[in-house]
Chain A
Amino acid sequence: MSSGLRLDEDREYDSEGPLLELDGVSKHFGQESGLFAGLQFDASEFPPFSVEQERVRAVDDVSLEVRPGETLGLVGESGCGKSTLGRTILRLLEPTEGDIYFKGENLADLGGEELRQTRSDMQMIFQDPQSSLDPRMKVGQIIEEPMRAHDMLDDEKREARAKELLEKVGLDPRHYNRYPHAFSGGQRQRINLARALSVDPDFVVCDEPVSALDVSIQAQVLNTMEQLQREFGLTYLFIAHDLSVIRHISDRVAVMYLGHIIELAGKEELFENPQHPYTRALLESIPVPEPRENGSRGVLEGEVPSPVDPPSGCRFRTRCPRLIAPDTYDWTGEEWPRTRAFMRAVKRRTFEPMPAARIEAEFFDGTLPRGEAGSIVAEAIDLVATDGEADGDEADRWAAATDLLLESFAEASVCARERPAYELESGDGERFAACHLHR
């Protein structure tokens, strides 16, 4: 049934190697734009002008492989860089660094017309069903546009193919002459699918294709996408923030946090046995439609740091519930977890100023850690306590305590000093986890 729809069966790609391979791909954005963007004036230097901008590291040094025929799920919270990565792969955005090999050819080296030609092999489906279709074009024109751009078929055959595709995605071919506004959100996503498939691509980046849809429509569209994947032999990169959808549709899953891939594993492995504390926290925070399972809700503290100045080493370390103890001190028992909790409470100022004894009782159960660590903690408590001896403005004292604690403990941890990257063995082949717990 699909024979008529495959346009290029003769140039099947050798399915041994990966279809797509990313090697150290980064995408940074300048904060400013305009004629004088980033121009700095500094009278003390010569020349007094310099061009320097804050860079948002949306995607930072990402390497991964997509195998032919699979669905690789890319999941993360908003602002983690997953959509930027998807667009960078398709070269809709220029990669700042790194190589993107598609069927062995480095897309990062291509430009202009060559790049345009490759677009018939790679397509994209967008999140917003409203804005992804030109309101002034008829459905037929929309679906035929990619074919026209690549001079595929003649007018008549294009129309026939567009109608066939409409039927394939579950719409009425008679809707060929309709304008997009006449369709519901789910139907628009189907038109999107038909457009993407019109040039018979091998690889489709799906950027949150169902997140704007109602639950009952989500299921319909997801089912159609799976069916089309089988029929057209597609490879999907499926970007989503919804872990349930990712679990349903993916074969392997990559988790992103603040521009880094922090874990990549087979779907079952990842969901049943997450190896990164962030993945674990993410999985624990999803509300499960099981009222009887109201037990543990893993609540992650704090907020995602700014991608302009991301934390060194492991990017999750500032929120990680399992931040590794700095080995410059001796720790026993609960000393480190307590110190860690105290350090974060000071940093976020989550407690009211109180006397030193109460702080000790509240955070350390009355006994401070022994040795050097203990004296650092005592110094910090002195700074923030209401009966402390330190002078100065309250805000300054808190800042000093924060600096002291972070420098002595957080910055000394291996998590801050080295960027983690570990290949692990697992049931179905290798998996990747960026966490020093796997040292």
Chain B
Amino acid sequence: MAVSESQFEDNRETESEDDIEARVGWRYTAARIKADTTARWGLYVVTVVLFVAIYAAIDSNLSLLTFGVLSDYTFARLLPIFDHPTYIPSPGEGTQHMPPYFPLAEQPWNPLPAGGTLEHPLGTDHTGRDYFTRIVYGTQVSVFVGIVSTFIGLTGGTVVGAVAGYYGGRVDDVLMRIVETVYAIPPLILIIVFTVFVGGANIWYAVLGVGIAFVPVFARIIRSRVLSVREMDYIEAARAAGVRDREIILRHVVPNSFAPVLVYATLQIGVTILIVAGLSFLGYGAQPPTPDWGQMLNIAHGYMHSNVWLSIWPGIAIMITIMGFNLFGDGLQDALDPRIDD
């Protein structure tokens, strides 16, 4: 019988004693991703991008948390930046690390962006900083921003969606109506209003704003899953066994509702990178001299005529990163989809 095929497969999978992980869990998902070409290429791109981001963070000896210092434009302008590319003795207080994309010593201050040379493969920007290095460091900001804001949206959305879906009734009504209200506002406007409201343009506010703006999306996805998971007998079995609600949500509801959200989150990282780049472009996100792709584009568009490449390079960087996350997300979707069965 056709219906018993899956059963046959189950039997086959249990033939080996060690193969207890089959069909659920990380190891199984990883195996499925490995088998999927799209997912594999996505994974490669994401890995390279992440590697670059992490490398940049380690190389400059900067912890991710020092971005705030860097965004102080005045501070950067006042520093004696002509002495050494990365190493600046600070009066009285030993040494001060500076990121390597600051203008190099041998390079005179050049108010106009220059083209590519062997030393500066992608040329320099309008302040004479190496463009390639800034693109590389921009990876750090973009990827970090994409992951953190998606994580905020995912966590908030999971909590709201799981609670609304699991309890249903009035709780669901109230939570979902709030979520829908937020959802009804165009995200970019919501974020801009939010950043202005909480204290002005700042990459942190932008990240938080993007995260909050996407809570509704995640909440709705997870709620719809929870509504079907909630009807499963094992939820009722857990209730009948006297398991606390909190534990039912954490141990049964969320893990079983999570697959589609995870896929969406991967795709969402790409989208948030784009949105934060857009915000920076509009001046509401990362502030100079933080090397953010969107903010670089913002500056570059003033130099469209003198050096169009200044606009193209960050664009390419954004495109590759987003493509990587999207490919990976698509592949993950297939890998986690129980209906696709080989």
Residues of A near any B CB (own CB < 8 A): 33-35, 87, 90, 92, 116-120, 122-124, 126-128, 131-138, 145-146, 148-150, 177-179, 181-182, 184, 192, 195-196, 199
5 nearest CB pairs, A to B: A119-B242, A146-B241, A132-B233, A126-B233, A149-B243
Min CB gap A67→B, angstroms: 22
- With A119-B241, A123-B241, A134-B234 in contact, do A178 and B20 touch (Cβ < 8 Å)? yes
Q: A136-B25, A179-B23 are in contact. List 15 more A-B contacts (CB 8 A).
A: A34-B173, A116-B244, A124-B237, A126-B233, A126-B236, A132-B233, A133-B237, A145-B251, A146-B243, A149-B242, A149-B244, A149-B247, A179-B22, A181-B10, A182-B22
- Total contacting residues, chain B, CB less than 8 A: 31
Tell me whether A182 and B237 are in contact (CB under 8 A). Answer: no
Tell me whether A133 and B234 are in contact (CB under 8 A). Answer: yes
Chain A residues closer than 8 Å to B13, beta-carbon distance = 182
Tell me whether B22 and A117 are in contact (CB under 8 A). Answer: no
Q: Is B30 an interface residue (CB 8 A)?
A: no
Contact with A along B170-198 (1 / 0, CB 8 A): 00010001000000000000000000000
Q: Is B252 an interface residue (CB 8 A)?
A: yes
Tell me whether B241 and A199 are in contact (CB under 8 A). Answer: yes
Chain A residues closer than 8 Å to B58, beta-carbon distance = none
Min CB gap B125→A, angstroms: 50
Chain A residues closer than 8 Å to B173, beta-carbon distance = 34-35
Residues of B near any A CB (own CB < 8 A): 7, 10, 13-14, 20-25, 168-169, 173, 177, 232-234, 236-244, 247, 251-252, 255-256
Tell me whether B236 and A92 are in contact (CB under 8 A). Answer: yes
Tell me whether A134 and B243 are in contact (CB under 8 A). Answer: no
- With A126-B233, A178-B20, A182-B10 in contact, do A136 and B255 touch (Cβ < 8 Å)? yes
Tell me whether B169 and A150 are in contact (CB under 8 A). Answer: no
Tell me whether A92 and B239 are in contact (CB under 8 A). Answer: yes
Tell me whether B240 and A132 are in contact (CB under 8 A). Answer: no
Tell me whether B24 and A135 are in contact (CB under 8 A). Answer: yes
CA–CA, A90 and B247, complex, Å: 19
Min CB gap A1→B, angstroms: 25
CA–CA, A122 and B242, complex, Å: 9
**A149 (CB) vs chain B CBs: closest residue:** B243
Min CB gap A296→B, angstroms: 36
Tell me whether A131 and B20 are in contact (CB under 8 A). Answer: no
**B7 (CB) vs chain A CBs: closest residue:** A184
Tell me whether B240 and A179 are in contact (CB under 8 A). Answer: no
Min CB gap A140→B, angstroms: 11
Kindly name the residue among B20, B21, B177 whose own CB sees the greatest number of chain A CB atoms within 10 A.
B20
**B239 (CB) vs chain A CBs: closest residue:** A92
Tell me whether B256 and A134 are in contact (CB under 8 A). Answer: yes
Residue among B24, B168, B241, B244 making CB contact with A195, cutoff 8 Å:
B241
Min CB gap B5→A, angstroms: 14
CA–CA, A127 and B237, complex, Å: 11
22 A-B pairs whose Cβ atoms sit less than 8 Å apart in the complex:
A87-B236, A117-B242, A123-B240, A132-B237, A133-B234, A134-B252, A136-B24, A146-B241, A146-B242, A146-B243, A148-B243, A149-B238, A149-B242, A150-B242, A177-B20, A178-B14, A181-B10, A182-B13, A182-B20, A182-B22, A192-B237, A195-B237
